[in-house]
Amino acid sequence: MPTTLTIDPVTRIEGHLEIQVTVDTVGGQQQVTEARCAGTMFRGFEIVLAGRDPRDAALYTQRICGVCPVSHALAACLALEDAFGIVAPDNGRNLRNLVLGANYIQSHVLHFYHLSLPDFIDTTGLLDASPWTPRYVRPDLIGGAAAATLVQHYVSAFTARRKAHQMGAIFAGKLPCVGSFVAGGCTQQVSAENVAAFRTLLNELRAFIQNVYLPDANLLATAFPAYSQLGQGGGNLLTFGAFDLNAGGTSKLFARGRRVNGTPAATDPQQITEQVARSWYTPASGNRHPSVGLTEPDRDRPDGYSWLKAPRYGTTPYELGPLARMTVNGEYTRGISAMDRILARAQEAMKLANAMNGWLDELVPGAPVVQPGSVPQTTAGVGLTEAPRGGLGHWLSIEDGVISRYQVITPTNWNASPRDDAGVPGPIEAALVGVPLDDLSQPSEVLRVVHSFDPCLACAVHAVRPGRQVSR
């Protein structure tokens, strides 16, 4: 007899997410047979952007998300530079890479220890007050001395992620929310002192990733072998690429690319559309490329169940994130599963921290940090980069010198998308099917799989009404 379980709120994520699963007994095992993923908060951010000075886009859009503001600021800067016909100088590019890298490290450490790990360890006798109680008590939780060590690392990880933000703020002004990112570069000037201060913190964090984070991720994989099979999802991976290594961005630390059921494939961002058959938007909002995107909220749409649209490449759902970046770039070959997302994220943090050391060497004190530019009357631009949790795109149009259209597609848009026009579930919805769930009052198994995607919901819901002038 199928039963339905609603988990709302899904906690230990960014934003407002509801998961609904249908549970039934298949082959003697009670498991998830169908899942629905719903974003339950809408702000209309891009409606707010219409009519504003284009140069403000990086400052507004980073406020879409408090966990990945740096990625939004960078995507907006890239879109504006595309529109203005300018390119950040080498210092500006390296400074932005270093701030973005710092935020990846804080985000990955936060995700592993504070958002994900509580699903796997028994904190009884170690953390016996709120917010760690009430809690789930599952038979497979890590206990004993290993749990005590992991809880100790959970606590020290607060310091590690704080230092990652402190490190980024040296060039960002502050974090979260960057003060220094502008179209044309980064306004923070380079000095021997700020480079040295950054390097000291980076060395500490490299040691933390190497000696604490990576071993803990491996320990989790050993303790929970089933999760290297569970939560596979659709099997298609997509990355836009990030961390430009030269002025035009033709060389990147993570190259753009796709995997279609394991096979590499070329990537053309023009193939992206958003579908809205099951989303709370008017039918006219569907099947559009983001450069001509339209989003008209309709909370009463019949059959709608999410504020997220369903982005598709061609007509196919794709998973985005560290696993996609690392797999497409040949750095990770272990597979696709809940545990592989956790392992790829940890390995990516290490790779990135090492690369950041090289970018620090490339900074030149006193050299220019910003390429000046001016706002054209009519133009358009695209900024594609990667947030910690996956590929991020900003599409911008300018008319009469102000923003006429702004569209954002975030990684969680893809990963947590609802069903599309053809009824095909999004990646998280697909990944939950087959996950065993013995005790409906303690859905840890579902949470482990959902958390492996590191969902970020505030990012994923946004809207723009094209051509609309804002009066104020």
Partner 1 sequence: MRITRRDFLKAAAAAAVAGRLTPSALAALGRTLRGEGHPRVIWLQGAGCDGCAVSFLNSVHFATVDDLLVNTLDVEFQSNLMAAAGDLAVSAAQAAAAQPGYILIIEGAIPTGSAGRYCMAWSNTTMEAAVQTTAPNAAFILAVGSCAAYGGVTAGAPNPTQAQGVGQLLGADARLVNLPGCPCHPDWLVGTVTYLLTNNRVPPLDAHRRPLSYFGVRVHDRCYRRHQQCGQPTFATELGSDGCLEHLGCKGKKTYSDCPMRKWNSRGPGEYGVNWCVGSGGPCLGCVQPTFPDGMSPFFVYSARPEAKD
Chain residues 290-319 in contact with partner 1, contact rule CB under 8 A = 297, 299
**Region from 27-35, 133-141, 311-319, 347-355 binding partner 1, contact rule CB under 8 A:** 133-141
Q: Which of 23, 75, 79, 110 binds partner 1 (CB under 8 A)?
A: 110
Which backbone phi and psi does 470 adopt, to 5 degrees?
-95, 130
Task: Give the DSSP letter of residue 416.
Answer: T
Question: Is residue 126 near partner 1 by the rule CB under 8 A?
Answer: yes
Q: Which helix (H) or strand (E) holds 254?
A: strand 252-254
Distance, CA of 282 to CA of 274 (rounded, Å): 13
Angstrom CA distances, 168 to 103, 187, 390, stand at: 7, 14, 20
- CA 137 to centroid of chain Cα atoms: 29
The correct pick among 1, 27, 28, 129 for binding partner 1 (CB under 8 A) is: 129
Selected from 197, 223, 247, 355, the binder of partner 1 by CB under 8 A is 197
Four-CA torsion 267, 273, 277, 281, nearest 10 degrees:
140
Token representation of residue 445: 């198994």
CB of 228 to partner 1, least distance (A): 23
Encoded one letter per residue, x for contact with partner 1 by CB under 8 A and - for no contact, window 213-232 reads: --------------------
The only residue of 26, 155, 292, 422 in contact with partner 1, by rule CB under 8 A: 155
The residue within the footprint of partner 1, chosen from 22, 30, 33, 187 (CB under 8 A), is 187
- Give the 3-state secondary structure of residue 26: strand
Closer of 15 and 234 to partner 1 (Cβ): 15
Alpha carbon distance 212, 150 (integer Å): 9
Scanning 66-74, 79-87, 254-262, 321-329 for contacts with partner 1 by CB under 8 A, the matching segment is 66-74
Q: How far is the CB of 329 from partner 1 (least distance, A)?
A: 28
Out of 55, 206, 259, 278, the residue judged to bind partner 1 by CB under 8 A: 55
Provide the residue type at 302 as one letter.
Answer: P
Q: How far apart are CA 110 and CA 30, in angstroms?
A: 32
Q: Which of 3, 9, 85, 196 binds partner 1 (CB under 8 A)?
A: 9
Determine the Cα angle at 46 with ends 44 and 47, to 5°. 65
Residues in region 157-186 near partner 1 by CB under 8 A: 158-159, 161-162, 165-166, 168-182, 184-186
Looking at the Cβ atoms of 40 and 291, the one nearer to partner 1 is 40
Q: Which listed range, 256-264, 267-275, 378-386, 464-472, lies at the site for partner 1 (CB under 8 A)? A: 464-472
Cβ atoms of 190 and 91 closer than 8 Å: yes
